[in-house]
Structure 1
Amino acid sequence: MSDDVNHRRSVINRVQAKAQEVAKEDYDKAKVLLSAAAKSGSFLYPFKYGISRHPVPGPTLHSHFHTVHNELRALWKPFMSRLLPTIGLAAGVTTAMFFFTYLPQLAVLVFVNGPLAVFTTVLLILNESSTIVNIIARNFLLQDAILDTFDGTLVARNATGVVSEGRQLKPGSDPIARLGKIVKNPFSRFTPKALIRYVMYLPLNFIPGRTRGKSVHGRYFQLKGWSPSQQRDWLQQHNGPYTTFGTVATLLEMVPVVSTFFAFTNTVGAALWAADIEQKNTSLTEGTAPNLRESAKKAE
């Protein structure tokens, strides 16, 4: 009898020790990721709506703010051009969702939330409607506008060299008006499987933010001409910063009604981050660039 007890205790001790080991490994990994994310400041980029420049005191201060104001107005042109169709889409989807799904979902939630189900059902439908609108708008109404916003932000940050690899640029001071014919194909739309998967796992998407983080610089990688292996190498090396950006961006775009607005501000933030990477103005460029690693691999 005592042998059985001792054996069980031994098994329990081994399981506990293994669990502690796994927990410590996960904690150490999370600490490294959070440290890298904090050092990069990637979580701040979704909130950087403006052009990050540092004015110097003196007579140039007024001209600085005048320049920033003009650039901000220019960057919102693509968003404003799609605003009315997007509002119409949001109104139609939300009205249909309330008409067809309010009572069925209320009947389910009343068993979970009781009298509060009247309000929680409204919040749920608003969130569902926002998700549907975001998916449809990004893939059919806003794709070109988001592309122009990303490229225009890079132009506004003087990253014209990388933008010229993907589209023609015209002379002028307006970053959006300078955008010409697209040379490299823009972002690809969601495939039917990707759409279904996105909706199915929406409640979990924001937890790691990993999937979204991997896609925020898809256009930048395209402009740079990086191969899939170069992209994987870069994203793996900087997993923490991209996961953090993806988490913040996803949470913002889950806010009902204003999700489309945040889709544009996140695009501006991603482009500002790309411009800083391009100008080696971020900790992410302290390591070896993917191009150099790729060349080294080929030379082996």
Structure 2
Amino acid sequence: MTTSVSNMSNPNTPLAYLTDIAEHRNDVLVNGTIKAGEVGNREERVLNIRQFLDIETLVGSFAQQKMAEDKFAAVECLLIELTEVKVEGLLDWYRVANKGATPEEALGSALADTYGDDVMAQAIVRASIKKKAKIGAPLEAVKDAMIACWNAEGRTTNEVLQWLERDKPSSDKDLFDYGIAKLLTGADTVHKHVAEVLLDHFEGEYVRFFVALVRAEKKETADESVMKACWDWLRSKHPDYAVEHEAFRTLMDPSPEGNKWAEAEDHLFGWPTKDEKKEIYEELTSGPVSGN
């Protein structure tokens, strides 16, 4: 059956006609709640069908957005307009329309194909920073969809970092911004602690990790829960810092010359100041130790 856009949007179109579209369009059987026989009253039936048509339009717009000149602006608009109902509708759509992949994988793949993996990663982080701790369910669902897609495709945390750094050069402290930690840990299929993922990125250099944490604390965009989790992990993993640990002795060395990472440009790292050393000492020798 051929259906015009005007027919779909016309409020006077017979309900039975819209029901037929919703149940059989493109030979895809949509979520059962849309079926006329399973809905209790006419108003609810109309609402469900309109929601379905909204989702169908949104899915159809992905193909058009692939040609957008400014894909970042396009995906930012998408994230602003998404509601919890729309996200659930998209997942329902892909649950029915895609076989062999989870709805999250299918949605993430569609978004990556439309806007690009790098643009999606950058837009998610920017939106997370703007919202800070008040991240809504739609944005969280998009994050989960992208993570599911990247896991299915075997993407790595290094790839995610590279995508983010295309947006702007990142210093170590930026890795603790809202949204970034979840993308990195989600892309890590071994499911390590967030501190382990970041330490891997810091090439096992604990001092670099210490300094990044201290400097991140000065940022309004830093995720306090992630930083606390990292400090707690460091204390529990190595409770002997102040006395024995090589990283702590290196930190207190007044002459950083010879440390290959002290002035490396790729992560914009600078040797800790006296005050920063004091802060690190206080963090590492205080607070809860929860065990290994």
TM range (shorter): under 0.3
TM-score, normalising length: structure 2: 0.25
Q: Which has the higher helix share?
A: 1
Higher relative contact order (CA 8 A, sep 6+): 1
TM-score, normalising length: structure 1: 0.24
